[in-house]
Amino acid sequence: MVDQEKIREAVRLLLEGIGEDVTREGLAETPDRIARMYEELFSGMGTDAGEPLSRVFSVDSNEMVLEKDIVFYSMCEHHLMPFYGKAHIAYIPDGRVVGLSKLARTVEVYARRLQIQERMTGQIADELMRYLAPQGAMVVLEAEHMCMTMRGVKKPGSKTVSVAARGVFKDNPLLQEHFFAMLRLQG
């Protein structure tokens, strides 16, 4: 739960710091707007994915499950700027699966807090391993970081890709290749 008064105060100072007149009409509501927005953007703090991932159901087949193109928006902890893109999650069950919407919910929990992309990738994979206990899990995040593209360090549209492999994916290049081949499929 964010401290809205502190955020309002900080935004006023920030505006003064860049030389703005905090009393002008366009900015009058800005501190309050940002405080309310942060309530939502950081709503994943202090929670884990236990709740969505704890509802599992049994399957007979342990074929690889892949949920791709899960759109997410997060905030870079180094610059307080958005980074956003898609998450692709695969796992090989060990007799148990979760509803596909729960994977998206897990991404959401870890996106709605200050993050670095590499850590978020690992956290999603670790939560899957912890709650679902599959034979293995693999997570790929591809994202555009506003802190890079807005400042011209990288060209707009350039993507940062991060990978986390756990369990049987970890030391098995063939399985990893299978994952990337499935990612490339249409649809």
Task: Give whichever of 82 and 95 is closer to Zn ion, judged by the CB atom.
Answer: 82
Residue 147 touching Zn ion (CB under 5 A): yes
Contacts of 47 (CB under 8 A, 6+ apart): 109
**Residue whose pair of structure tokens reads 């995040």 in the numeric block:** 141
Residue 124 touching Zn ion (CB under 5 A): no
Other Cβ atoms less than 10 A from the Cβ of 33: the count is 13
Residue 151 touching Zn ion (CB under 5 A): no
Stretch in the footprint of Zn ion (CB under 5 A) among 10-18, 33-41, 70-78, 92-100: 70-78
Q: What are the catalytic residues?
A: 76-79, 117, 145, 147
Parallel/antiparallel/unpaired status of strands 160-167 and 136-145: antiparallel
Residue 76 touching Zn ion (CB under 5 A): yes
Contacts of 25 (CB under 8 A, 6+ apart): none
50 vs 134: CA distance, rounded Å: 15
Stretch in the footprint of Zn ion (CB under 5 A) among 8-16, 24-32, 74-82, 99-107: 74-82
Smallest CA-to-CA distance from 72 within 24, 166, 144 is with 144
Residue 12 touching Zn ion (CB under 5 A): no
* Residue with smallest beta-carbon separation from Zn ion: 147
Residue 75 touching Zn ion (CB under 5 A): no
Stretch in the footprint of Zn ion (CB under 5 A) among 32-40, 68-76, 103-111, 174-182: 68-76
